[in-house]
Structure 1
Amino acid sequence: MTGRPAPSTPSPASQPLSDDYFHDMYAVADDPWGFTERWYERRKYALTLASLSSERYRRAFEPGCSIGVLSAELALCADHLVCMDLSPRATEFARRRLARHSDHVEVLTGNVVVDWPDGEFDLIVLSEILYYLTPTQLDDLVRRLPRSLSPDGEVVAVHWRHTVSEYPQSGDDVHDRLLDSDLVHSAGYRDADLRLDLFGRESRGSVAQREDLVG
């Protein structure tokens, strides 16, 4: 359950997307959003990874992992990574891509709304997934985030900013909601195409402060 939209159209939809939307996308293409081909995607992944404030994470969660392109990068900085996607075909591709990391990567097929995994994470990556949720579903997920984070954990959210008529919300809608939550905002970036924000359960100080580089 992830992916940047292909076409842009004027106004968001008011109803949640059917699961068939994602099943149909993967039925006609192995990589329907061009995650392995487009510079937009490679640049987005680089920005996402560069925004992380820790070099390594004990337990990470990436809902909406799709075919596992970003997951392969996250696997290099996590002791244990849980990936999830709604599409069985997408998770099949993700498992193949992540096979060499199978000792510490778990790929699940499930819906983030009802199948959120138990336990705490010190990294949650929400990449191009939250605008698929209705406002009510988003509120429920946002309230869940602090309970799912370790005390020093962080959430990185990154979303396409252009409007897509099928989607219940825009990227700006979901980031504005995250900024209005109980999470502590620690960093952000935006341009015409994407918006990225980093949050924690509590303030941890900057990377330089944590490494005693600041007097």
Structure 2
Amino acid sequence: MYRDVPDPWHLAERWYERRKYDLTMASLPRDRYRRAFEPACSVGELTVRLAERCDRVVACDRVESAVATARRRTSILPHVDVCHLTVPGQWPLGSFDLVVLSELLYYFDAPTLQRLLGHAVGALEPGGTLVTVHWNHPVPDHRGTGSTLAPIVGSLPGLTLTADHRERDFVLQVYERTSTDGTAAPSPAAREGLV
């Protein structure tokens, strides 16, 4: 799809996409993150937004032309690395306090999906945030929708659901990795001493 058009989904132009990215960013429970990972970053629209709230962003895509576009868009952001990787077979080293799986999970069969989710949770620091966003309409190339993927992610051990935004068009969920003692991370209000 990227062969003829640099942005085949018109991610930069559509109000639907901009609104979804804004809701994704607003759902993050922390103001700042140390190190974020965004696989399947496409042309970097969400990557640029993540860069505003993260000290370091590692983004990747399996499509080289998408990587080239995302690199151009983030070239003035020295704390953003965009690389050519295909998850889950390739995964960056180190841990993250934010992993964003946006418009990605429905491409995988069940065993590959479980492998990818295992990498994501395994790389997530205790108290870290996992965000998932899924298109919620059937598509011939997709193996699921937001409604079918949400319970799969929700069944993963070690995660606590902290936000669940559902619309006809997409499902956006936020999870936090439980601490080593089994406790959930404090809510945004608790972090600021409001509760």
SS at match of 2:3: helix
From 181, 196, 213, the counterpart of 2:156 = 181
From 136, 142, 152, the counterpart of 1:167 = 142
**Structure 1 residue 46: Cα displacement:** 0.5
Within 5 Å, which residues of 2 pair with 1:38-187?
38-101=14-77, 103-182=78-157, 183-187=159-163
The answer to whether the aligner puts 1:213 opposite 2:191 as a matched pair is no
Aligned residue pairs, count: 189
Structure 2 Cα separation of the partners of residues 121 and 55 of structure 1: 15
SS at match of 1:84: strand
Instruction: State the TM-score, normalizing by the size of structure 2.
Output: 0.94
**Structure 1 residue 129: Cα displacement:** 0.5
**Structure 1 residue 77: Cα displacement:** 0.8
**Structure 1 residue 207: Cα displacement:** 0.6
SS at match of 1:46: helix
Kindly provide the amino acid, as one letter, of the partner of residue 95 in structure 1: R
Alignment RMSD:
0.9
Structure 1 Cα separation of the partners of residues 141 and 36 of structure 2: 30
Structure 1 Cα separation of the partners of residues 112 and 147 of structure 2: 16
- Asked whether the equivalents of residues 67 and 83 of structure 2 are also in contact (C-alpha less than 8 Å), the reply is yes
Kindly provide the amino acid, as one letter, of the partner of residue 130 in structure 2: V
SS at match of 1:157: strand
**Structure 1 residue 114: Cα displacement:** 0.7
Higher normalized contact order (CA 8 Å, seq sep 6+, divided by chain length): 1
- Asked whether the equivalents of residues 134 and 169 of structure 1 are also in contact (C-alpha less than 8 Å), the reply is no
- Asked whether the equivalents of residues 88 and 119 of structure 2 are also in contact (C-alpha less than 8 Å), the reply is no
Structure 2 Cα separation of the partners of residues 148 and 59 of structure 1: 11
> Gaps (5+ residues) in structure 1?
1-24
Structure 1 Cα separation of the partners of residues 47 and 35 of structure 2: 13
Deviations 1:62-105 (A, max 9, x none): 0000000110111111111000001000000000000110x211
**Structure 1 residue 173: Cα displacement:** 2.0
Structure 2 Cα separation of the partners of residues 78 and 38 of structure 1: 25
**Structure 1 residue 135: Cα displacement:** 1.0
> Gaps (5+ residues) in structure 2?
179-183
